[in-house]
């Protein structure tokens, strides 16, 4: 779970620890690039890492999102140095976890390569990510959302590719609603079919190491969650779970076979068993 653009309450992280829910730690970004904004963010980010370092639920750090607070990365050397410095500070404070400098696009540095792709078309996702060659073509020639994926001087060197924002399905809004998500459907059946189309395309892509669906719940501004703000499911959760927890093509087949036959459980069930048993 990517706890997006907020520092989580320690009580929430405690329950994530207990339940085995893995989370990506983030920070609310500034709206501008200035010495004051940098000083405050660096101070707060240091405090966040020091406070939450011992929560085993946290598996990655992501201090910046979609170039927020650094709007001129391609042309401003100071902003690029800031992103790189923030990444290296994170790694110095916590060398045990992966981190990414700027998630979504305009990559400069990181242990993973996060892409935000809210395509509503499974066929389009398959065209973009079905093979390593397709991925390289996508990142170079037809980047999602028309954003530059990597800035000059940065080249992927084996970092796992993750679609850290995707999906965004919402029900068709009532008249007068100005914001509802990335695409709309009219029924629960259509919602499920679209969700299956998107997730199947991602899980069938061997070049994609992970993904983050947007969102788990409605958030006020974006009504494209799997649940409402009151945490009521918008459709039957059983097929959602079945779709999202099947093995990915990125997992070697021998590992899947070993976990399913030798241990007699699915990879998801085994991971949950391990997390909740305290191992």
Mean of per-residue pLDDT scores for the chain = 89
Instruction: Give the three-class secondary structure for 228.
Output: coil
Q: How much is the pLDDT for 158?
A: 85
Q: Which range (13-27, 70-84, 126-140) has the least confidence?
A: 126-140
Instruction: Provide the pLDDT for residue 210.
Output: 92
Please give the structure tokens belonging to residue 90. 């994170």
pLDDT digit string, tens, across residues 85-106: 999 999 999 999 999 999 999 9
pLDDT > 90 in the chain, percent: 70
206: its two tokens: 């061997």
pLDDT at 259: 66
Q: What is the mean pLDDT of residues 132-152?
A: 86
Name 84's Cβ contacts closer than 8 Å, sequence gap at least 6.
101, 108, 109
Alpha carbon distance 99, 137 (integer Å):
25
Among 35, 36, 42, 32, CA closest to 72: 32
Q: In sequence order, which ranges of 94-236 are alpha helices (DSSP H)? A: 122-129, 132-141, 188-203
Q: Give the residue range(s) of CATH 3.20.20.80 domains in the chain.
A: 1-111
pLDDT at 152: 85
Name the pLDDT band for 68 (thresholds 50, 70, 90).
very high
- In the numeric block, which tokens belong to residue 26? 């983030």
Residues 6+ apart with CB under 8 A from 89: 42, 45, 46
DSSP tag of 259: I
| pLDDT mean over 73-83 | 96
Q: How confident is the model at residue 256, as a pLDDT?
A: 66
pLDDT in tens, 251-275: 877 676 676 676 555 544 444 443 4
Q: Is the pLDDT of residue 142 over 50?
A: yes
78-116: b (≥16 Cβ within 10 Å) or e: ebbebbbebbebbbebbeebbbbbbbbbbbbbbbbbbbb
CATH number listed for the domain at residues 1-111? 3.20.20.80
> Which pLDDT belongs to residue 174?
80
Tell me: the pLDDT tens digits for 39-54? 999 999 999 999 999 9
> How does pLDDT run across 107-122, given as a tens digit for each residue?
999 999 999 999 999 9
H-state helical runs in the chain: 10-19, 35-52, 77-93, 122-129, 132-141, 188-203, 237-244, 253-257, 267-276
Q: What percentage of the chain has pLDDT greater than the value 70?
A: 90
Q: Could you read off the pLDDT of 12-34 as tens digits, one per residue? A: 999 999 999 999 999 999 989 99
């Amino acid at each position: 779970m990517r706890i997006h653009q907020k520092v989580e309450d320690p009580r929430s992280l405690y329950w994530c620890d207990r339940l085995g829910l893995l989370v990506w730690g983030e920070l609310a970004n500034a709206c501008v690039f200035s010495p004051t904004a940098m000083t405050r963010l660096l101070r707060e980010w240091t405090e966040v890492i020091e406070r939450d370092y011992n929560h085993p639920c946290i598996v990655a750090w992501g201090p910046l999102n979609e170039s927020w607070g650094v709007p001129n990365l391609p042309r401003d050397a100071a902003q690029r140095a800031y992103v790189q410095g923030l990444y290296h500070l994170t790694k110095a404070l916590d060398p045990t976890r992966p981190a990414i400098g700027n998630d979504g696009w305009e990559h400069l540095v990181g242990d993973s390569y996060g892409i935000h792709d809210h395509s509503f078309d499974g066929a389009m996702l398959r065209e973009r990510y079905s093979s390593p060659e397709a991925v390289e073509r996508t990142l170079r020639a037809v980047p999602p959302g028309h954003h530059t994926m990597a800035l000059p001087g940065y080249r992927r060197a084996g970092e796992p590719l993750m679609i850290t924002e995707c999906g965004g399905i919402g029900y068709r809004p009532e008249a007068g609603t100005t914001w509802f998500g990335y695409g709309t459907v009219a029924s629960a059946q259509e919602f499920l079919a679209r969700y299956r189309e998107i997730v199947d395309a991602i899980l069938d892509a061997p070049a994609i190491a992970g993904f983050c669906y947007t969102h788990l719940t409605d958030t006020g501004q974006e009504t494209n969650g799997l649940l409402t703000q009151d945490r009521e499911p918008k459709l039957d959760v059983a097929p959602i779970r079945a779709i999202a927890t099947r093995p990915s093509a990125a997992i070697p087949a021998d590992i899947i076979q070993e976990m399913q036959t030798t241990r007699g459980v699915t990879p998801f069930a085994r991971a949950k068993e391990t997390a909740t048993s305290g191992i």
